[in-house]
């Protein structure tokens, strides 16, 4: 609470977080394109609309990524003093939205334009994107976590939801390599499947470590109003992506599981379902925190896009499980989460418009 019992105002992220956070917006748009391509609820009359929406969102995401890259790295020189920014607990993890956007775009292309992986050129382009995004993500995890290990004084309030972004990038890499392996050259399939397993282990364990640290901060230190409600929602991202990666990796290559492949796939689906259940509980907790934060939940900056990708990833994970289990109830849950995603989009876009108008008025008043 602010002085005199007034609720805290919107939490403004540091200026240094503003530019990388816009790549998080690309992640949200591309993930929403993937959601549309899955046709939540499988409502026949809306199938054509969903396909067109998916294609439009994906093209817009690709163009937005290219525009942001030119603006931030060629015009604004965002890469200046990059090493120092990456080592910071407040700015370092935010830069993972850049390789994150690359990986999410590759996932979206696989779902919206599935035929692209069947051609040699398309497959090599996608594997190149996955390799680039995942390599950058792994490098960021090493730089950031080593810096955290060696940091003499690490304020608890600097531990926020953006700490989950680097692990999410690694988990997306696991998902991509598992899905691309069967369509690749025969000589590369086993290697890609092994790589997918290794990335699942690295990303999953790093996520577990980060989750323990984050929950410890929430319970024992400053409240979530210090970093904003999006911090709560961002944790949904690695939960949902781990659920997806488990299923893709377990069923991706029979050579690794041998005769045990069907059993491994079933166990992986069971584990994915357990993670999904915890993610549903976390959504309920995050929704309550957001409700308590009131207007302070939205900063009307690029940081608000932290609500979108986790919501979209959860829809994808839910629909994937629903079709694996052939469950109408889970399919309905996926549709309900899709409606929630639409509401999140409305809230974030309206906040962006308000923030843009406020910024324009401020500039005219100078």
**Torsion of the alpha carbons at 267, 273, 276 and 280, rounded to the nearest 10:** -150
How many C-beta atoms lie closer than 10 Å to residue 223's C-beta?
A: 14
What percent helix, strand, coil does the chain show, rounded to 5?
85, 0, 15
pLDDT at 280 over 90: yes
More confident residue, 295 or 226: 295
Angle at 17 between CA 58 and CA 157, to 5 degrees: 125
Global pTM?
0.87
Query: How many angstroms separate the CA atoms of 105 and 176, rounded?
Result: 11
The average confidence (pLDDT) of the chain is 83
Whether the CB-CB separation of 267 and 235 falls below 8 Å is answered with: no
pLDDT at 269 over 70: yes
Burial of 272 (0-12, 13-18, 19+ CB in 10 A): buried
Of 137-141, 174-178, 226-230, 246-250, which has the strongest mean pLDDT? Answer: 174-178
pLDDT at 321 over 90: yes
More confident residue, 87 or 101: 101
Which of 178-182, 258-262, 310-314 has the weakest average pLDDT? Answer: 258-262
Query: How many angstroms separate the CA atoms of 237 and 110, rounded?
Result: 19
Of 7-11, 94-98, 195-199, 304-308, which has the strongest mean pLDDT? Answer: 195-199
Buried b (16+ CB within 10 A) or exposed e, 114-139: eebbeeeebbeebbebbbebbebbbe
Query: How many angstroms separate the CA atoms of 90 and 15, rounded?
Result: 11
Site of tokens 């810096």: 147
In percent, how much of the chain has pLDDT > 90? 46
The whole-number pLDDT of residue 4 equals 45
CA distances from 255 to 127, 195, 251 (A): 20, 14, 10
More confident residue, 142 or 54: 54
How many C-beta atoms lie closer than 10 Å to residue 295's C-beta?
A: 11
Convert the pLDDT of each residue in 153-184 to its tens digit: 666 666 777 888 899 999 999 999 999 998 88
Convert the pLDDT of each residue in 177-203 to its tens digit: 999 998 888 888 889 989 999 999 999
Confidence of residue 218 (pLDDT cuts 50, 70, 90): confident
Domains of the chain: 17-360 (1.50.10.150)
The whole-number pLDDT of residue 215 equals 82
């Amino acid at each position: 609470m602010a002085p005199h019992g007034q609720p805290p105002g919107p939490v403004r992220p540091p200026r240094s977080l503003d530019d990388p956070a816009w790549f998080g917006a690309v992640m949200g748009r591309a993930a929403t394109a993937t959601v549309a391509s899955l046709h939540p609820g499988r409502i026949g009359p809306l199938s054509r609309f969903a396909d067109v929406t998916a294609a439009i969102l994906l093209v817009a995401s690709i163009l937005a990524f290219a525009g942001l890259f030119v603006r931030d790295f060629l015009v604004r020189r965002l890469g200046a003093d990059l090493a120092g920014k990456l080592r910071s607990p407040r700015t370092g993890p935010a830069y993972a939205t850049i390789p994150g956007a690359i990986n999410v775009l590759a996932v979206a292309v696989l779902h919206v334009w599935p035929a692209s992986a069947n051609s040699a050129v398309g497959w090599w382009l996608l594997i190149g994107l996955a390799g680039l995004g995942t390599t950058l993500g792994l490098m960021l995890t090493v730089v950031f976590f080593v810096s955290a290990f060696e940091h003499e004084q690490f304020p608890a309030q600097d531990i926020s939801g953006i700490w989950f972004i680097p692990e999410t990038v690694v988990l997306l890499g696991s998902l991509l390599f598992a899905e691309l392996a069967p369509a690749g050259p025969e000589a590369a399939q086993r290697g890609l499947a092994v790589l997918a397993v290794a990335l699942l282990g690295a990303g999953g364990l790093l996520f577990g470590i980060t989750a323990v640290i984050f929950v410890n901060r929430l319970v024992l230190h400053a409240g979530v109003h210090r970093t904003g409600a999006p911090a709560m929602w961002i944790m949904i991202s690695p939960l949902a992506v781990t659920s997806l990666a488990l299923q893709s990796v377990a069923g991706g290559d029979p050579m690794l599981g041998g005769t045990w492949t069907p059993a491994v796939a079933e166990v992986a689906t069971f584990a994915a379902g357990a993670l999904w259940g915890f993610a549903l509980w976390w959504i309920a907790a995050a929704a309550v925190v957001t409700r308590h934060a009131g207007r302070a939940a939205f900063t009307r900056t690029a940081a608000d896009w932290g609500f979108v990708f986790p919501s979209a990833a959860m829809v994808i994970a839910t629909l994937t499980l629903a079709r694996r289990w052939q469950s109408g109830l889970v399919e309905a849950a996926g549709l309900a989460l899709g409606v929630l995603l639409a509401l999140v989009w409305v809230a974030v876009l309206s906040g962006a418009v308000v923030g843009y108008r406020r910024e324009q008025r401020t500039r005219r008043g100078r």
